Amino acid sequence: MASKPHTQDRRTKLEADLKANQPISETDEDWLDNAGNLVDEEWVVELLDCASDYERGVEKLDEKGKFVVPKLKDLAGNGEKTM
């Protein structure tokens, strides 16, 4: 998974290409619709941040939110800093 800054840079470039009526690949279109769309992830992070504890927060998630949790864990794992 890509980091959020890289995701935003790619998303911005692709959206600029589309706005300029430049063609983008089917792969890029699919990416914009799926991996490049972090709305669900951001919503889940906000909800879990506000929860009294992580487990209770996860319990309150709908099916779509629960589906996002493993993706967030993967993103967090890829972003770990080593000392």
0.85 surpassed by pTM:
no
Q: Which domain holds residue 80?
A: 38-83
**Is the residue at 12 inside a domain?**
no
pLDDT at 79 (0 to 100): 56
Residue 3 lies in a domain: no
Structural domains counted in the chain: 1
Domain-embedded: residue 31: no
In a domain, 28, yes or no: no
Domain-embedded: residue 49:
yes
The pLDDT value recorded for residue 83 is 40
Report the candidate in 39, 67, 82, 18 with the shortest Cα–Cα distance to residue 58: 67
| Residue 15 belongs to some domain of the structure | no
The string of pLDDT tens digits covering residues 24-56 is 999 888 888 777 677 778 888 988 999 989 999
For residue 81, name the pLDDT band (cuts at 50, 70, 90): very low
